[in-house]
Amino acid sequence: MALDRAEPVKAPNVYDAEPIPEAARAEIDRLMATGDLFRYTAPADAPVALLERDFAALMGTKYALAVSSCSAAIYLSLRALDLETGTRVLIPAFTFAAVPSAVVHANCQPVLVEVGENYRIDMADFEAKLDDTIGAVIISHMRGHTSDMDAIMALCNARGVPVIEDAAHSLGTLWHGKKIGTIGRIGCFSFQSYKMVNAGEGGILITDDADLVARAVIMSGAYEHNWKKHGTDPELDAAFARWQNELPLYNMRMQNLSAVVIRPQLGDVLTRRINDGLAKHDYVADLLNGSPWLHVPPPLAPETRAPDSIQFNLVGFDSDDEAKAFADAAATRGVKVQVFGLSADNARAFWNWRFIPGERQELPQTRAMLMRACDVRLPPRLTTDELDFIVDALVSAAEDIKGETRAYGT
Ligand SMILES: *Cc1c(COP(=O)(O)O)cnc(C)c1O
C-alpha cells in the first residue's frame, strides 16, 4: 500500500470547513443592511422561524425549536420533561462531556451505561441499570453510531421512561429507514462547525409533543407573548396558555444570522454530504479492515449511517504505549489520530467528567474500548487521493509498530 506517485498528495487538512453556500449571501446582506438579527423582531417569518419550519418538514416532525447549541437543546429537553431535582438520567459512558454537563445543569444525576467495542450501548448493562430510579434516558448517537433503538425503545416504553435522542452528530442517519432523532420523545441536533451542518454554533430540538415544545420554547427565551411567532396550532396555543409565566427564561435563543447560514445547507447540500460521507467512510473502512491491526466495526443491520469521521479499534496492541506509538507514527505520516482514552484530558473519556456529583462511576468495558478506539475526521469533501493518503498513513503506522510480517499475505 506504499504510495508510488509522481506528485505526492499532501496530507489533507481535515479540520477546514466547506464554504457556506453562495445562496446564503443575499439574506446575510439583507440582515447586515437592516440589522434585523433578533428572531422576535419581525412580525412573522424571521429566518429562525423559517429554519424551524424547514427543519421540522425535513425531519417529518410537528415542531422544531432552534437554540444556541445542541447542549442547550438537551438541557431544555430535560427541563421540558419537568424532572425533579436529583432525577437519575441514564446516558452512555461514551459520549461528549456536553451530555453529562447538560444533565448536571438540569439538576439531575448522570448514570453511566457501558458501551461495547462497537461504540454502541451495551444492552445488558442498559437493561440492568434501567430500574425504578431512572427518570429519563439520553441516547447519544456518538460519532453517529446508532445503538439498538428497537431494544432501547421497547425497554423505555415498557417503563414509561422518556427518551431524548442526542443526535448532535447524526443528522441524516436512518434506523430501519426512519430518521434518527425522530424515534425518542425529543431529538437534539448540533450546528457546531464539526457537525454535518455548520453555523459555527447552534442547535435544534424536534418533537411531536406540543406540551414539551411549548415549555422548551418559553424557557429558551420566548418572553411575554413571543411564543405566538412559533406557529398557530390549537394544541400548541393551549399549551402556551398553560405555561405562560410559569417557567423561567434561560435565553438560549438562536439569532437570525445563524439561521440564514444553516438554511441553504439543508437541501441538496446536506443530501450530498450524507451520501458522500457514507461512501467515503465505507471506502476507507474496507481498506483499513484489510490490515490485521485495524478493525472498523460494522453498523447494526437496521442502520444507514451518515458519517463525517471514522472510528476504528487497534487489534493486538497489548500496551497503551504501543497504541500511543501508533498515534505518533500516524502523526509523523501526516494524519492526526486521537485514541480516545490516551490523549490528555479527552472530553469523551468518562473519567475526565469529574464534575459529576457522587462516587466515581467505573465502566471497565467502556474504558477498555476507549484505550484502543481511534478517531479520525473524514469530511465528505475529501478526494479519493486524500482518502488514500489517510489510509496509507494509518495502515503503514500500524505496520511501523506491529511489523510487516502479518500485514501481507494473510
Ligand atoms: C457536538 C456534540 C454535542 C454538543 O453539541 P454543541 O452544539 O456543541 O453543544 C453533544 N453530543 C454529541 C454526541 C456531540 O457530538
Mapping DSSP to helix (H, G, I), strand (E, B) and coil, where does residue 78 land? helix
* Distance in Å, CA 98 to ligand 1 centroid: 6
Q: Tell me the C-alpha distance between 321 and 318, whole Å.
A: 8
Beta bridge partners of residue 377, listed in sequence order = 309
pLDDT score, position 404: 60
pLDDT score, position 8: 66
112 phi and psi angles, rounded to 5 deg: -90, 140
Note the pLDDT tens digit of each residue in 17-28: 999 999 999 999
- CB of 140 sitting under 6 A from ligand 1: yes
* Distance in Å, CA 194 to ligand 1 centroid: 9
pLDDT score, position 409: 47
Residue with cell 425504578: 132
* Full set of structural domains in the chain with CATH: 22-265 (3.40.640.10), 268-402 (3.90.1150.10)
pLDDT score, position 49: 98
- CB of 69 sitting under 6 A from ligand 1: yes
* Distance in Å, CA 21 to ligand 1 centroid: 23
CA angle 19/20/23 to nearest 5° reads: 130
pLDDT score, position 391: 98
Taking CA atoms only, the protein residue closest to ligand 1 atom 14 is 168
Q: Tell me the C-alpha distance between 136 and 155, whole Å.
A: 12
Residue with cell 464554504: 19
Spatial CA neighbour of 1 closest among 286, 361, 377, 206: 286
Spatial CB neighbours of 317, under 8 Å, sequence gap ≥ 6: 293, 323, 326, 372, 401, 402
Note the pLDDT tens digit of each residue in 86-137: 999 999 999 999 999 999 999 999 999 999 999 999 999 999 999 999 999 9
Q: Tell me the C-alpha distance between 39 and 313, whole Å.
A: 45
pLDDT score, position 9: 75
Q: Tell me the C-alpha distance between 295 and 112, whole Å.
A: 25
- CB of 189 sitting under 6 A from ligand 1: no
Pocket mutation for ligand 1, best pick of 71, 91, 95, 138 (most atoms within 8 Å of C-beta): 71
Low-confidence stretches of the chain (pLDDT < 50) are 407, 409-410
pLDDT score, position 410: 46
Pocket mutation for ligand 1, best pick of 96, 188, 195, 308 (most atoms within 8 Å of C-beta): 96
Pocket mutation for ligand 1, best pick of 65, 69, 70, 180 (most atoms within 8 Å of C-beta): 70
Where does 164-233 have alpha helices with state H?
210-221
Closest-lying ligand 1 atom to the alpha carbon of residue 202:
7
Pocket mutation for ligand 1, best pick of 95, 169, 171 (most atoms within 8 Å of C-beta): 169
Residue 250 DSSP symbol:
-
**CB of 119 within 8 A of CB of 143?**
yes
Give the C-alpha distances (Å, rounded to integers) separating 75 from 187, 206, 251: 12, 13, 12
Where does 97-246 have alpha helices with state H?
98-105, 123-129, 149-159, 210-221, 234-243
- CB of 215 sitting under 6 A from ligand 1: no
- CB of 94 sitting under 6 A from ligand 1: no
- Percent helix, strand, coil in the chain, to 5, is 40, 15, 45
pLDDT score, position 403: 87
